[in-house]
Amino acid sequence: MRWLLNALSTSVGRKVVLAITGLLLCGFLVAHLAGNLLLHVPDGGKSYNEYAHALHKQAALLAIAETGLFGLFIAHIVIALQVSAENRTARKVGYAVTRSKQEGRYAMEGYRPDTWMLVTGIVVLGFLILHLMDFKLELRAKEFYQHADGSAFEPADKANALLSPSNLITIVGYTLGSLALIAHLAHGFQSAFQTLGINHPKYTPLIKTIGLLFAFVIGVGFATFPICGLIKGGAPSSRPKVSVSIPVDPSLQSVPTPPPGTIQGVDDPDGASR
């Protein structure tokens, strides 16, 4: 841990730790999106439910993973704020127009890449908080989490209910958060590799291209959930299930069959019903 403390005591070290935590969080985004994409499988939510139940059966491992993930997020956020403050202090009172670090590009003061990283990062943080409120803490109204009889929704049903038009706050928040995530990853991915010293005329353009593709796939992937929820209007399986039973008179369950050759309701000359 001493090396980490030493790293955090310098500006360069903080940027390195920021890059490492960012790349680790990119790995989490890939895994999280891959699991959530099971919601799009047209099997009535079966695949997603099986995935969610299998995940939560590993309670101890899940708790460790969530704790580590929480630590990563906190470290990334705190260090990002420190680095942003240091960059602003280093620039001091700026110019009307400043030259960007990227060759041949100019940026108006206040619209530099690191400034946009801070802005998009704050939006993504809001997206994360909203997501935790919806799915982890379950702070929405009860109809988003359970049937009318009080029984809990299956995981897929809960997701479909939360991502329905009746919950526009989540729809709008998730869409904006996904767009901000694209912008954040588009710059942050390639910037992390440069910070770690992987900066070469031969490889840097490739890393930038991969970063843009990665940002687009991840951001659009997460955006599909609120968009599909808005289009579908919420899955029918997310609505309370109602069973209707009609009482039947036992005396009507067995009706005698007339003998062959007879017609009910017609009397023959001998007085017998035909």
Neighbour tally for 208: CB within 10 Å: 18
Query: What's the sign of the alpha-carbon dihedral 46, 49, 54, 57?
Result: negative
Element holding 44 (H helix, E strand):
none
Q: What is the pLDDT of residues 51-89, one digit of tens each?
A: 999 999 999 999 999 999 999 999 999 999 999 998 888
105-127 mean pLDDT: 76
Q: What is the pLDDT of residues 158-208, one digit of tens each?
A: 999 999 998 999 999 999 999 999 999 999 999 999 999 998 888 999 999
- Amino acid 61: pLDDT: 95
pTM of this prediction exceeds 0.95 = no
With 0-12 CB in 10 A as exposed, 13-18 as middle and 19+ as buried, what is 146?
middle
Element holding 106 (H helix, E strand):
strand 106-108
pLDDT band for 238, please (50, 70, 90 cuts): very low
Tokens representing residue 66 in the block: 């969530």
Helix axis angle, 168-195 to 113-131, nearest 10° = 140
Biggest distance spanned by C-alpha atoms of the chain:
119
Query: What's the sign of the alpha-carbon dihedral 94, 99, 101, 107?
Result: positive
Q: What is the pLDDT of residues 245-265, one digit of tens each?
A: 455 555 555 555 555 555 555
Q: What number of residues does the chain have? A: 274
Q: How many CA atoms lie within 13 A of 167 on its CB side?
A: 28
Q: What is the pLDDT of residues 1-27, one digit of tens each?
A: 777 787 788 999 999 999 999 999 999
